[in-house]
Amino acid sequence: MNGADNRTTLTLTYVVLGMAAFITLFPIALMLLNSLKAAPEVIRSPLAVPEEIRWDNYTRAWRDGNFSTAFLNSAILTVMTIILVCGSGSMTAYVLARKKIKSWRLVTGYLLATTTAPIQLFLFPLYFGFARLGLIDNVFAVSVIYCAIFSPFSIMLLRTYFLAVPKELEEAALIDGATHWQVFTRVMLPIVWPGILTVALIVGLNTWNEFLIATTFLQGQGSMTAIVSFFLFSGQYTTDWGQLMAGATIVVLPVVALFIFLQRRFIEGMTGGSVKG
Amino acid sequence: MASVTLSSVSKSFGAVKVLENISTEIHEGEFVVLVGPSGCGKSTLLRMIAGLEDITEGTISIAGQVVNDTAPKERDIAMVFQNYALYPHMTVAENMAFSMTLAGSSKAEKERRVREAADILGLNDLLERKPKALSGGQRQRVAMGRAIVRSPRVFLFDEPLSNLDAKLRVAMRAEIRALHQRLKSTSIYVTHDQVEAMTMADRIVVLNGGKIEQVGAPLKLYDDPANTFVASFIGSPAMNFMEAEIMDGDGGRSLVLQSGAKITAPAWCSRPSGTPVTIGVRPEHFLFGQEGVEMSVEVVEHTGSETHIIANHGSQKIVAVTNQRLDAAYGDKMKLGFPTGTMLLFDRETGERIRE
Amino acid sequence: MHRLYLIPTLAINLSIILLPAILTIALAFFRWDGISQPVFVGFDNFQALAGDRVFWRALTNNIIWTAIFLTIPIGFALLVASMLLLISRGRILLQVIFFLPIIIATVITARVWQGMIFNPVSGIFGWLEQFGIHLTNPLTKTATSLYGVAAVDLWHWWGFLAVIFFAALRQVPAEQIEAARLEGATFFQMLRYVLLPGIKSTIMLMMIMTVIWSFLVFDFVFIMTRGGPAYSSEVLSTMAYRLAFYDLNVGKAAATALVISLFGLVATFFYIRAQAKDGDL
Ligand SMILES: Nc1ncnc2c1ncn2[C@@H]1O[C@H](COP(=O)(O)OP(=O)(O)OP(=O)(O)O)[C@@H](O)[C@H]1O
Ligand SMILES: [Mg+2]
């Protein structure tokens, strides 16, 4: 439906939408604005334009937040998780979408159930188990946890992409002499590639932003993620809000930049599973 | 090139039996069309030959070797699918060469074979395109090309033309036929379109409800159908059927229609008086003249070369075709003579032909 | 053959989720500090919970939270989503804006709100003081702390819902909308009789998810108040976390986790049923 019934409705609509947009952008704008101010200036007025632009807030935040190490950790963790989820998830999604095994119903039901499992249900034994195995502060071990947590929904999403591929393509490939594995890797994977990219993006975002697991399993100075590092650093320097907002901006910037760049794929991927026709 | 032999092949999906006791042989180099109404099991049978479905009972042999447990890729067959099943992420050339890529053929060899097939099908200008950038007819050609490149022992086609528009379908029909003349490879072609079957086949296998109704050359099926199903399925407009009873009278044997009208029975008809039968008459076999059964004209259609007349005799609808240009209008009375020589009789109970 | 494809997913899932989940169920019946030998105590942990005022506070807070999130964001998101349908310009831009909060990490959102809005010194609340408007930081008072946290989560959450609802609304068949138009329906009649019924299943699904997530809520509470002051904003998941890692009472934490899961389970049942109806199962 395009166009409103009349002018008043349309005006009202734009007013409400404009206000909603303002509410949404306001805190983000405050973050950006104050990240450029000295601490006393923030206190004088959070809304004022900076008298002097303080880029050094950023350098100090980068240093105090230990972001060189933390960003590297976050990056490794994110990439590892993406590889694990996409690798294992695409195989499972393929098998479930194509009902290649008799127990596909059981496995699908189980995975759906774990999509909604509360982290606390498995967190405590997992933590003490990891502690015993010496896996605390181990970025790779944590990426396996993320893989377990993010896999179910990724599989459900990937499944829809596999379902959209005509069965005849697989059959044609089988006749062309492909093994089952080749059917999967040389025909199916390239076709569902957009789905895998979407999943990679969402899993990457969730991993980068994740708080509960990261703060529990990665507390050591050398293994912290950017999020955990910011969390601890923002707990210590609560007087210098300028520097703190600079730190916040540093952490969100890569995510927001990527989002603006690939918003279509983000939005489709994150809303896709929820919209039921 | 090879023969394909089906012996007592059956197929069940769970408790549902979709094919029952199918036995037939497709000879080397032959073009055989499997035809039948939707859901009769044609695709299933073809997919069993391809190795895409398990065989529940019986055996399928290619070139004398039982292939029941042979994987599709080892059967040395090629299949053209209804939706073409082109790999969307590969170019036309890559699509056609995929089987050779998998087999590890050299680049030069692949190029040579793809070029050969592309020459035959006129695909040379399209080799670098992706399937998305092709028209339906072009995709169809690529699917054929993919099969040709492999030079398989047997070609399988599953309704390859049904997604094309009518005109293209007619053109491709002739093209596939010409291709077969040239390559002389054993081909099994599935369709539900009897015109396709008639025009393309060396021999037709008519399937219905999971069983073979009749196997034979197109004209043989047309002239000499084994039962009412084949008689009605083959030919367009379809054969006319009328219920009648055999009766002996003063003037010899006759067939009495339900309206009471009498027709002279064929001389060979030796069933006893009183036998209920179904008369089958091809539309073009009716005799237009002074003699015959009176009909009331319903619709007259002129195709230019022919006149189709749809008429009623009591509650019975009759379709007659003639190459004369007849002038008739709704409600006109007209007499149609029944051709004793070409008239067919069927057992009313079983639908089987009553023969001499 | 294809069974092998499931091995990585299942191996990871079973060892990270299922096995520890089973251990959690077992641990709920033990007293354990995470280090020494666990001692079997039967239903003691559950009894302790039943007698624990903080537990009841947390449970009540979870229920309040659920009630808030079942109404305010869903209502507002539906309004905004249908308004997006009404306009022809700026849809994409507005969608991107509304989506922004959900992709910003919870820690960042929490700190921005704490420092730039609620803070009486550096935030908007402090700035308004100049104009004689007194607003106290809601996070520091027991009566308002939960709502303060909820406000931040609402900001974080509603836009995502709006985008989902908008996507669903756009899938309502155009003929239905056209037909309603031809019959002279006003926008609100259209909403009531065509659009909302058309996306009923999406709304249902989001409500089920809201219930599930409301019992899992952790990040914002933990980051902004740690359940305080005086447990006034405590929810079950922060309580369980505190019990396990600060009080080293892992048994009681496990028992709390089971309570959370119980609520989740009911909602999960409906969730799976909703999914199964759409032919996923
Ligand atoms: N995988 C399957 N599981 C259960 N039943 C099936 C399966 N595949 C086919 N059938 C059934 O087997 C019967 C024959 O199907 P088949 O596809 O062979 O028909 P067809 O003759 O090719 O029909 P069409 O002309 O419509 O393509 C149909 O009744 C169909 O419903
Ligand atoms: Mg078929």
Note the ipTM here. 0.89
Which atom of ligand 1 is nearest the CA belonging to B159? 27
Q: B102 and A166: CB-CB below 8 Å?
A: no
Residues 6 or more apart whose CB falls under 8 angstroms from that of A110 comprise none
What is the pLDDT, as a whole number, of residue A276? 45
Q: Domain A65-272: which topology?
A: MetI-like fold (1.10.3720)
Q: How far is CA B247 from the centre of its chain?
A: 36
> What is the least distance, in Å, from the CA of B15 to any CA of chain A?
17
Q: To the nearest whole percent, how much of chain C has pLDDT over 90?
A: 49
Q: Residue C154 — very low, low, confident or very high, per pLDDT cuts 50/70/90?
A: very high
Would you list the domain boundaries of chain A? 65-272
**Closest-CA residue of chain A to B157:** A172
Phi/psi of residue C180, nearest 5 degrees: -65, -40
Give phi and psi for C219, each to the nearest 5.
-50, -60
Q: Which residues of chain A have pLDDT under 70?
A: 1-5, 236-238, 272-277
Mutate to test the interface with A, among C1, C14, C17 (most CBs of A within 10 A): C17
- Chain B residue with CA closest to A182: the answer is B102
Cα gap A272→A163, rounded to integer Å: 14
Determine if residue A54 is left, alpha or beta; phi over 0 gives left, psi from -120 to 50 gives alpha, anything else beta.
beta
- Ligand 1, atom 4: closest residue by C-alpha: B13
User: Ligand 1 atom 25: the closest Cα is on which residue?
Assistant: B38
Mutating to test ligand 1, I would choose from B12, B44, B82, B207 the residue with most ligand atoms within 8 A of its C-beta, which is B44
State whether residue C94 sits within 8 Å of chain A by CB: yes
Long-range contacts from C246-249, C-beta under 8 angstroms, 24+ separation: C248/C33, C248/C34, C248/C35, C249/C31, C249/C33
Closest by Cβ to C108, choosing from A4, A94, A252 = A252
Listed residue (A186, A223, A211, A215) closest to A66, CA to CA? A223
Instruction: List, for residues C11-67, the tens digit of each pLDDT value.
Output: 999 999 999 999 999 999 998 888 888 889 888 889 888 899 999 999 999 999 999
Neighbours of C97 (CB within 10 A): 18
CA distance C103 to C15: 29
Q: What is the mean pLDDT of chain C?
A: 88
Closest residue to atom 5 of ligand 1, CA basis: B13
Say how many CB pairs under 8 Å bridge A and B. Answer: 56
Instruction: Give the best residue of A116, A133, A174 to mutate against chain C (max C CB count within 10 A).
Output: A116
With an 8 Å Cβ cutoff, is C201 touching chain A? yes
Name the residue at shortest CA distance from atom 18 of ligand 1.
B41
Please name the member of A166, A175, A186 whose beta carbon is closest to the beta carbon of B77: A175
Of the partner residues A14, A118, A209, the one whose CB lies closest to the CB of residue C260: A118
Cis amide leading into B339 (omega within 30): no
Q: Which atom of ligand 1 is nearest to the CA of B44?
A: 18
At residue C231, the 3 state secondary structure works out as coil
Q: List, in order of start, the domains of chain B with CATH numbers.
A: 4-233 (3.40.50.300), 240-354 (2.40.50.140)
Nearest in space to C221 (alpha carbons), one of C235, C241, C207, C211: C235
pLDDT at B42 over 70: yes
A171 and B78 within 8 Å at the Cβ level: the answer is no
Distance in angstroms (rounded) separating the CA atoms of residues B333 and B106 = 74
Residue numbers of B between 57 and 86 with CB closer than 8 Å to A: 71-73, 77-79, 81-83, 85
pLDDT above 70 for B273: yes
- Residue C4, in any domain of the structure: no
Q: How many residues does chain C have?
A: 281
- CATH number (domain holding residue C159): 1.10.3720.10
Residue B25 pLDDT: 93
Q: Is residue C145 part of a domain?
A: yes
Candidates C10, C41, C93; CA nearest to C255 is C41
Output the six-digit token pair for A39.
């601490």
Report cis status (omega within 30 of 0) of the bond before C229: yes
Q: Of A4, A91, A149, which has the smallest distance from its Cβ to C5's Cβ?
A: A91
Distance B46 CA to ligand 1 centre (A): 11
Q: Which of B40, B81, B189 to mutate to test the pocket of ligand 1 (most atoms within 8 A of CB)?
A: B40
Number of domains in chain C: 1
Ligand 1: distance of its center to the CA of A164 in Å? Answer: 20
In this prediction, residues B272-298 reach a mean pLDDT of: 88
Which of C2, C119, C274 lies at the smallest CB-CB distance from A180? C2
Q: What one-character DSSP code corresponds to residue B237?
A: S
CA atoms within 13 A on the CB side of B119: 6
Q: Which token pair is B109?
A: 């060899």
Contact B288, B324 (CB under 8 A): yes
Q: Which of residues 207-266 of C touch A (CB under 8 A)?
A: 209, 212, 215-216, 218-219, 222-223, 236-237, 240-241, 244-245, 250, 253-254, 256-258, 260-261, 264
pLDDT of amino acid A272: 67
| Surface-to-core class of residue A168, CB atoms within 10 Å of its CB (0-12 exposed, 13-18 middle, 19+ buried) | middle
The answer to whether the beta carbons of residues B280 and B330 sit under 8 Å apart is: no
One-letter amino acid identity for A153? F
**Residue B88 near chain A (CB below 8 Å):** yes
Q: Do chains A and C touch (3 or more CB pairs under 8 A)?
A: yes
Share of chain B above pLDDT 90, in %: 59
Q: Chain B closest CA to A160's CA: distance in Å?
A: 17
Q: Read off the pLDDT band of C209 (50, 70, 90).
A: confident
Q: C274, A276: Cβ pair inside 8 Å?
A: yes
Both tokens of C5, joined, read 């494809």
Q: B21 burial class (0-12, 13-18, 19+ CB within 10 angstroms)? A: middle
Query: C246 lies in which domain range?
Result: 38-277
Look at C58 and B290; give whichever has higher pLDDT. Answer: C58
Predicted confidence (pLDDT) per residue in B56-67, tens digit: 999 999 999 999
- Is C140 part of the contact surface with chain A (CB cutoff 8 Å)? no
Q: Tell me the CA–centroid distance for residue B43 and ligand 1, in Å.
A: 7
Contacts with A188 (C-beta within 8 Å, 6 or more apart), sequence order: A94, A162, A165, A169, A170
In a 3-state reduction of DSSP, which class is residue B65? strand
Predicted local confidence at residue B241, as pLDDT: 93
Report yes or no: B31 and B200 within 8 Å, Cβ to Cβ.
yes
Report the residue among B9, B10, B12, B18 best suited for mutation to probe ligand 1: largest number of ligand atoms under 8 A from its CB: B18
B47 C-alpha to ligand 2 centroid (Å): 10
At residue A4, the pLDDT reads 45
Q: Which residues line ligand 1 (CB under 6 A)?
A: B 13, 16, 18, 36, 38-44, 192
By Cβ distance, the residue of C20, C96, C254 closest to A129 is C20
Q: Which residues of C touch A270 (CB under 8 A)?
A: 102, 160
| Torsion angle, alpha carbons of A233, A234, A238, A243, to 10 | 80
> Closest residue of A to C154, CA-based?
A24
Given the CA of residue B13, which atom of ligand 1 is nearest to it?
Answer: 4
Q: Is residue C168 part of a domain?
A: yes
Residue B185 region by backbone torsions, left for phi larger than 0, else alpha for psi between -120 and 50, else beta: beta
Record: contact B72-A168, CB cut-off 8 A: no
